[in-house]
């Protein structure tokens, strides 16, 4: 397993060395649309996988021509529901990545899966072709709430899928959603303790949020259900953190908890400013192209059919909808915003070296430290633990400490 290090490599264009690269592969199809989901997911269609592979291949070739000398440290198949992919199709994508770049021998290779029996039967084959980490969308261990969340699997299937995952993968994670309408803190305590006993070394625990454009948004507006108050949601968060700490989990990111050395390398790449590319409909990339001074922000076309058409036919820009250079001020803000989501925080010295100037106003930082919003340890700024629940407002304060 890849050991985490705060000495991850900055992009090659800046440091003249081989920089790390994380690869995200988006598979945009699901069996049904969950009412809370605002991801780029579409109902599963008759997919011509050989054509789809050509689309992914064209995108990977495009990135290779701009990122010649990189080391791949993580690969993540997300969605949608990538576990619906035929195994041979996933294998071809992995092989293509392997053929294009040097892949670290400790590369973390994750696939997201739903715990239906159809998908669980494929775990062993996914493992055989090179996936060494599985991330399961369990969401609840309470059948009534699973139904409310519109999930297609049952609690029984979840337990079975988790035990299959445990047998096959040393490294697997699952997601739960809490602070659900009508949920009681005591019931959540029992549910979370049951989840912990299922033996995963990594859990992602998200509060239910109501996103615009989802079915839940309309239902909530029409008062079909009532969401917990902010105070109650805060109590849920507090309880969650206490239970996870009592059980030896390191709370390393706002919604993520891991045993020692089981943090998600791929997600940490996003949060710690490592370059990443995203292929597939609607995916994003943040990357320094070879010999370019500014980092690029890239967004792909959203609709799978349009993405495919462009990926296959547009030789110069494949399926990119938008490609922009990030200026230094925006990049500083972005690195702070993502870095402060984790306990590892933001390394002041690293940023100063990178931007070749002192980027923070020391007086403002000192004030934030005195007020208890942040900690500074060995030149690393992090949000004080009791302010994680107000992370967004503390991040704003730290951004305001940037020198103008």
- Nearest approach, Cβ of residue 90 and ligand SF4 (Å): 17
Q: Considering CB under 6 A, how many residues would be counted as binding ligand SF4? A: 11
Considering the complex, state which of residue 37 and residue 359 has its C-beta at the smaller distance from ligand SF4. Answer: 37
- Nearest approach, Cβ of residue 28 and ligand SF4 (Å): 9
Q: Which of 11, 137, 228, 304 binds ligand SF4 (CB under 6 A)?
A: 137
Considering the complex, state which of residue 95 and residue 143 has its C-beta at the smaller distance from ligand SF4. Answer: 143
- Nearest approach, Cβ of residue 113 and ligand SF4 (Å): 10
Considering the complex, state which of residue 25 and residue 368 has its C-beta at the smaller distance from ligand SF4. Answer: 25
Considering the complex, state which of residue 17 and residue 218 has its C-beta at the smaller distance from ligand SF4. Answer: 218
- Nearest approach, Cβ of residue 39 and ligand SF4 (Å): 5
- Nearest approach, Cβ of residue 29 and ligand SF4 (Å): 8
Residues between 72 and 131 that touch ligand SF4 (CB under 6 A):
79-81, 114
Residues between 27 and 46 that touch ligand SF4 (CB under 6 A):
30, 33-34, 37, 39, 41
Binding mask 176-205 for ligand SF4 (x = CB under 6 A): ------------------------------
Considering the complex, state which of residue 90 and residue 335 has its C-beta at the smaller distance from ligand SF4. Answer: 90
Residue 390 within binding range of ligand SF4, rule CB under 6 A: no
- Nearest approach, Cβ of residue 216 and ligand SF4 (Å): 11
Considering the complex, state which of residue 14 and residue 255 has its C-beta at the smaller distance from ligand SF4. Answer: 255
Considering the complex, state which of residue 101 and residue 148 has its C-beta at the smaller distance from ligand SF4. Answer: 148
- Nearest approach, Cβ of residue 129 and ligand SF4 (Å): 22
SS (H, E, C) the chain: CCCCCCCCCCCHHHHCCCEEEEEEEEECEECCCCCCCCCCCEECCCCCHHHHHHHHHHHHHHHHHHCCCEEEEEEEEEECCHHHCCHHHHHHHHHHHHHHCEEEEEEEEEEEECCCHHHHCCHHHHHHCCCCEEEEEEECCCHHHHHHCCCCCCHHHHHHHHHHHHHHCCEEEEEEEECCCCCCHHHHHHHHHHHHHCCCCEEEEEECCCCCCCHHHHHHHCCCCCCCCHHHHHHHHHHHHHHHHHCCCEEEECCEEECCCCCCHHHHHHHCCCEEEEECCCCEEEECCCCCCCCEEEEECCCHHHHHHHHHHCCCCCCEEEEEECCHHHHHHHHHHHHCCECCCEEHHHHHHHHCCCCECHHHHHHHHHCCCEEEECCEEEECHHHHHHHHHHHHHHHHCECC
Q: Which residues bind ligand SF4 (CB under 6 A)?
A: 30, 33-34, 37, 39, 41, 79-81, 114, 137
């Amino acid at each position: 397993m890849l050991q985490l290090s705060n000495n991850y490599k900055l992009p090659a264009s800046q440091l003249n060395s081989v920089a790390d690269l994380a690869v995200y592969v988006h598979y945009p199809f699901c069996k049904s649309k969950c009412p809370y989901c605002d991801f780029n997911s579409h109902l599963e269609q008759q997919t011509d996988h050989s054509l789809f592979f050509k689309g992914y291949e064209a995108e990977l070739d495009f990135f290779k021509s701009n990122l010649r000398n990189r080391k791949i440290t993580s690969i993540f198949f997300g969605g949608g529901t990538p576990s619906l992919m035929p195994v041979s199709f996933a294998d071809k994508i992995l092989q293509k990545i392997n053929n294009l770049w040097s892949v670290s021998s400790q590369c973390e290779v994750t696939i997201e899966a739903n715990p239906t029996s159809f998908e669980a039967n494929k775990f062993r084959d996914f493992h055989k072709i090179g996936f060494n980490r599985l991330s399961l969308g369990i969401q609840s261990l309470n059948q009534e709430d699973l139904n409310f969340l519109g999930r297609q699997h049952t609690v029984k299937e979840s337990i079975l899928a988790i035990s299959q995952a445990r047998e096959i993968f040393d490294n697997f994670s699952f997601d739960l959603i809490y602070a659900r309408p009508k949920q009681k803190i005591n019931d959540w305590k029992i549910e979370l303790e049951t989840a912990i006993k299922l033996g995963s070394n990594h859990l992602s625990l998200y509060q239910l949020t109501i996103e615009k454009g989802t079915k839940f948004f309309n239902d909530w507006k029409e008062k079909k259900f009532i969401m917990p108050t902010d105070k109650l949601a805060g109590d849920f968060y507090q309880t969650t953190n206490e239970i996870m700490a009592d059980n030896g989990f390191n709370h390393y990111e706002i919604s993520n908890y891991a045993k020692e050395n089981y943090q998600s390398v791929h997600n940490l790449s996003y949060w710690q400013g490592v370059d990443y590319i995203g292929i597939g409909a609607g995916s994003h990339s943040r990357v320094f192209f070879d010999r370019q001074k500014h980092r690029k922000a890239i967004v792909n076309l959203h609709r799978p059919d349009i993405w495919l058409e462009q990926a296959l036919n547009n030789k110069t820009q494949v399926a990119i909808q938008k490609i922009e250079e990030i200026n230094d001020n925006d990049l500083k803000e972005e690195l702070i915003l993502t870095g402060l989501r984790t306990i590892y925080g933001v390394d002041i010295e690293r940023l100063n070296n990178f931007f070749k100037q002192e980027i923070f106003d020391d007086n403002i930082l000192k004030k934030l430290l005195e007020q208890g919003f942040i900690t500074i340890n060995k030149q690393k700024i992090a949000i004080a633990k009791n302010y994680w629940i107000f992370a967004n407002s503390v991040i704003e304060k730290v951004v305001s400490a940037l020198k103008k």
